[in-house]
Amino acid sequence: MDQAPGSPQEPQDAHSLPSCYNHAGRETGIRCARCERPICTDCMIDASVGFQCPECVRKGSGTGHAPAANQPRTVAGGTIEADPFFVTKILVAINVAVYVVVLALGDRFLAETELIGLARSPQLGFDVIGVADGEWYRLITATFLHEEVQHILFNLISLWVLGRMVEPALGRSRFLAVYLIAGLGGSALAYLLAAPNQPSLGASGAIFGLMGAFAVLARRANLDMRPVIALLALSLFFTFTWANISWEGHIGGLVAGGLVTAGLVYAPREHRRLVQIGSCAVVLLAIVAIVIVRTASLT
């Protein structure tokens, strides 16, 4: 901006730089592109043109009066939140709440909500039940059910550890999408391959989906993959060697979670939202197709 004739001139001494408006005594040569106040490197936020101060970003973003600043984003384009583990906490709380309901209501509640293909239930008067009988809700309700204390403790510890690594990297909505689609993927593969009268329950499919998500994120960040591969190998070893484990649910969740996360973090920036929604939709359509095929074979 030109100065009017006769107006006071700023000192030309190279060492006499103005101080950041937000940090007194911190000299800077950078100014906000909107209000022209001096800002230091800790305060400047990238904008489409130059840099802006935090106040202008808060007040003017999206108003049309000046270029809006680019908000900090996760690797998948999600918003960076003040509480990066919010959804993880909510999921833990839901699992605990459902476990309390299971303890209170017992076998009848489990019989009405656990994953089962097609069978007659003694708890429900030998009525025909199952996904193939139209009870598709079991594909998702089963992923929040736990019957034994060691089962829920192991799953919730795994959810807490993996959630604190995956949720901040994806953002809330994308993290929730991975968790739920992975849970559905695990249920769908168990429905397809397990005996129709074999019940299953637990958050393990969704948690294996978070393992797949973590592996994709580690690869995306060019981290050393050997510890990640070792973790997956150990988890799969226990899956196939421990008794009473639905390996179908684990594998289905792992594959679904990994595929969705790959679509989220490798989506090109110019078409990010479209590719991310499309990736989730493709995996969901595959799950629906599996369920339809299995239902047709049972009915």
Tens of pLDDT, residue by residue over 267-292, are 998 899 999 999 999 999 999 999 99
Task: Determine the residue type at 99.
Answer: Y
What six digits make up the tokens of 69? 């600043």
187 included as an active-site residue: no
Helix (H, G, I), strand (E, B) or coil at 128: strand
pTM above 0.85, yes or no: no
Choose the catalytic residue: 250, 271, 279, 297. Answer: 250
Longest dimension (CA), the chain: 97
Mean pLDDT of the residues in the chain: 87
Where helices occur in 106-246 by DSSP H, the ranges are 107-113, 138-141, 149-170, 172-193, 204-220, 226-241
Ranges of CATH 1.20.1540.10 domains, the chain? 86-298
Contacts for 192 with CB less than 8 Å, ≥ 6 apart: 248, 290, 291, 293, 294
Choose the catalytic residue: 204, 235, 271, 279. Answer: 204
More confident residue, 248 or 68: 248
Whether residue 198 contacts residue 116, with contact meaning beta carbons closer than 8 Å, is answered with: yes
pLDDT at 25: 76
Read off the pLDDT of residues 103-147 as tens digits, 9 standing for 90 and up. Answer: 999 899 999 999 999 999 888 888 888 999 999 999 999 999 999
pLDDT at 58: 73
246 included as an active-site residue: no
Q: What's the average model confidence in pLDDT over 201-224?
A: 94
End-to-end CA distance of the chain: 78
pLDDT at 62: 47
Contacts for 30 with CB less than 8 Å, ≥ 6 apart: 38, 39, 40, 41, 44, 51
Is 50 exceeded by the pLDDT of residue 229?
yes
pLDDT at 235: 92
234/241 Cα distance (integer angstroms): 11
Select from 3.40.190.10, 1.20.1540.10, 3.40.718.10, 3.30.2130.10 the CATH code of 86-298. Answer: 1.20.1540.10
Task: Determine the residue type at 185.
Answer: G
Read off the pLDDT of residues 58-81 as tens digits, 9 standing for 90 and up. Answer: 776 544 444 444 567 788 888 888
pLDDT at 39: 85
Is 70 exceeded by the pLDDT of residue 35?
yes
By C-alpha distance, which of 193, 117, 204, 192 is closest to 156? 204
